[in-house]
A and B are shown apart, each in its own frame.
Chain A
Amino acid sequence: MISGTTDPAAGTVISADRSPLSDAALVTAARGGDMRAFERLYRLHVGRVLGLCLRMTRRRDIAEDCVQQTFVRAWRNLGAFEGRSAFGTWLHRIAVNEVLTYARNHGTRVEANDADEPVEEISEGTGELDVAEVVDVERALATLPEGARHVVVLQAVYGYSHEEVADMLGIAVGTCKAQLHRGRRLLRERMGMKELES
Chain B
Amino acid sequence: MNEKSRDPLDLALDALPRDVQPDRDLWAGIRTQIEVSPSASFPAASRAAARPWMRLAAGFLLVVASSFTTYLLVQQSAQEQVQQARQSAATQLQQAPSLPAMPVSFGGHEELGKGYLQAREALDAEFKRQVEMLPPVTRAKLERNLADLRRAASEISATLAEHPSNPLLQELLLSTYQSELALLGSVGEVTASTLNQPSRETRL
A and B part of one assembly: yes
User: A: which residues have CB within 8 A of B?
Assistant: 1-3, 6-7, 9-10, 13-14, 20-22, 24-25, 28-39, 42-43, 46-48, 50-51, 54, 60, 64, 67-68, 71-72, 75-79, 83, 122-129, 133-134, 137-138, 141, 152, 156-158, 184, 187-188, 191, 193, 196
Q: Find out whether the CB atom of B15 lies under 8 angstroms from the CB atom of A46.
A: no
Query: Bound complex: CA of A38 vs CA of B41, how far in Å?
Result: 12
User: In whole angstroms, what is the CA distance A133 to B16 when docked?
Assistant: 10
Specify which chain B residues have a CB less than 8 angstroms from the CB of A13 in the assembled complex: 163, 166, 168-169
Q: Report whether B40 and A33 are in contact in the complex, using a CB–CB cutoff of 8 Å.
A: yes
| B40 pairs with A50, CB closer than 8 A | no
Contact between chains at A72 and B20 (CB < 8 Å): no
Known contacts A9-B167, A37-B172, A42-B27; decide if A25 and B13 are in contact (CB<8 Å): no
B residues 1-53 near A (Cβ < 8 Å) are: 3, 7-27, 29-31, 33-35, 37-43, 45
Interface of B is mostly: helix
Q: Contacts A33-B39, A34-B172, A38-B40 given: A128-B22 contact, CB under 8 Å? A: no
Min Cβ gap A96→B in Å is 15
Q: Which B residues have a C-beta under 8 Å from some C-beta of A?
A: 3, 7-27, 29-31, 33-35, 37-43, 45, 148-149, 151-152, 155-156, 159, 162-163, 166-169, 171-172, 175-176, 178-179, 182
Q: Offer 25 A-B interface pairs, CB within 8 angstroms, sorted by A.
A: A1-B23, A2-B21, A13-B168, A14-B169, A21-B159, A24-B148, A25-B155, A28-B179, A32-B42, A32-B182, A33-B175, A34-B172, A35-B31, A39-B27, A42-B27, A43-B27, A48-B19, A54-B20, A67-B26, A68-B33, A79-B43, A125-B17, A134-B15, A137-B15, A196-B8
How far apart are the CA atoms of A83 and B149 in the complex, in Å? 13
Asked, given contacts A24-B152, A28-B152, whether A42 binds B30 with beta carbons under 8 Å apart, the answer is yes
The smallest beta-carbon distance between A47 and chain B, in angstroms, is 3
A75 vs chain B, min Cβ distance (A): 4
For A126, the chain B residues whose CB sits under 8 A away are: 15-17
Question: Which of chain A's residues have a CB closer than 8 A to the CB of B17?
Answer: 51, 122-126, 134
A79 in contact with B21 given A24-B152, A38-B34, A138-B16 (CB within 8 Å):
no
